[in-house]
């Protein structure tokens, strides 16, 4: 058995195409959905994410603005920029690109974002609404994963789901969404004993650890659906040779680095029934759902 690759890029394009008539309808009423992005510092991955998100906005005709602050700014400066976006009628969604520098109080910043513009779903009010199964905005990566699972006909009701990772951004909201879909959910983390014994119980395994290739063959139940959230930059050639498909080795040689997931896909391909690749799996869906949330905010449907 060879696992089916779940094409997140293709589904992301489907979702964006579905948004075009909604955007056209808003524009006919004089409303152009607007996204305000706050980027602090020069974190390489953050810069890549922001460029991808703004390209998606441009493709769909959304207004977008990025405020790029220096890495040395303090919390008060960042809060002031959030207030400006909060007050602007032409900005319907606000994205604070994480991580913020260590000297910035991330929680204070996220708490200040207007909940009706919080398209990342990180404000405590929106987190609480998600817990109560009446969400306004769902965090984009878990929302994208649910779109992938449901649109590809992968049944969740009564299935065993294991989420590896307990972050506020992915792990916790992912577990809630799976629970709301009537799956039986286990959350694992760095203190979990005998991780592989737990993950092997999963019909659906979501890996969101942030460590390259740590989920291997022994972690996966035969026939499981594996969702790889990891986006890890590998620069070590020996590690790249172990984790990369041979077809991507040329890319590594040319660039000196490559992106790999939390799952050792080469080891898991003949065990799982379906798996998301890295890149091209979860990442494009995250961007598509951010745009979708921004359009919802503009439409006042959130």
Q: How far apart are CA 203 and CA 272, in angstroms?
A: 9
Catalytic residue list contains 53: yes
Burial of 251 (0-12, 13-18, 19+ CB in 10 A): middle
Contacts of 197 (CB under 8 A, 6+ apart): none
The active-site residue out of 53, 117, 172, 221 is 53
Let me know if 13 is a catalytic residue: no
Neighbours of 234 (CB within 10 A): 19
Separation between Cα atoms, residue 273 and residue 263, nearest integer Å? 14
Do the Cβ atoms of 240 and 258 come closer than 8 Å? yes
The residue among 66, 3, 21, 41 whose CA lies nearest residue 270 is 3
Residue with tokens 């991808």: 52
Q: Answer yes or no: 203 catalytic.
A: no
Element (H, E) at 91: none
Distance (Å, whole) CA 281 – CA 270: 18
| b/e map 177-212, b = 16+ CB within 10 Å | bbeebebbbbbbeeebeebeebbbebbbbbbbbeeb
| DSSP secondary structure letter of residue 99 | P
Which is the catalytic residue, given 97, 118, 228, 264?
97
User: What letter does residue 122 receive in the DSSP assignment?
Assistant: -
Of 108, 114, 96, 13, which Cα lies nearest the Cα of 49? 96
From 114, 117, 118, 120, active-site residue? 120
Which of the residues are catalytic? 53, 97, 120
């Amino acid at each position: 058995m060879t696992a089916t690759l779940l094409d997140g890029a293709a589904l992301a394009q489907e979702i964006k195409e579905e948004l075009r008539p909604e955007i056209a309808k808003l524009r006919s009423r004089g409303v152009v959905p607007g996204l305000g992005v706050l980027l602090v510092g020069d974190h390489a991955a953050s810069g890549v994410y922001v460029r991808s998100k703004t390209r998606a906005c441009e493709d769909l005709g959304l207004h977008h603005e990025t405020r790029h602050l220096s890495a040395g700014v303090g919390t008060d400066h960042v809060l002031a920029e959030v207030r400006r976006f909060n007050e602007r009628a032409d900005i319907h969604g606000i994205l604070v690109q994480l991580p913020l520098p260590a000297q910035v109080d991330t929680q204070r910043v996220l708490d200040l974002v207007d909940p009706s513009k919080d398209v990342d779903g990180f404000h405590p009010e929106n987190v609480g609404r998600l817990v109560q199964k009446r969400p306004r905005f769902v965090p984009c990566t878990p929302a994208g994963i649910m779109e992938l699972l449901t649109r590809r006909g992968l049944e969740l009701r009564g299935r065993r789901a294991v989420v590896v990772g307990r972050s506020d951004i992915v792990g916790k909201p992912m577990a809630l969404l799976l629970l709301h879909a009537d799956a039986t959910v286990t959350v694992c983390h760095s203190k979990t004993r005998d991780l592989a014994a737990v993950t092997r119980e999963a019909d659906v395994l979501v890996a969101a650890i942030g460590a390259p290739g740590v989920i291997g063959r022994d972690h996966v139940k035969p026939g499981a659906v594996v969702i790889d959230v990891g986006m890890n930059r590998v620069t070590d050639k020996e590690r790249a040779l172990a984790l990369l498909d041979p077809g991507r080795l040329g890319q590594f040689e040319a660039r000196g680095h490559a992106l790999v997931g939390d799952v050792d896909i080469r080891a898991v391909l003949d065990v799982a029934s379906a798996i998301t690749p890295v890149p091209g799996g979860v990442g494009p869906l995250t961007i598509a759902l951010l745009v979708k949330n921004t359009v919802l905010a503009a439409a006042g449907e959130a």
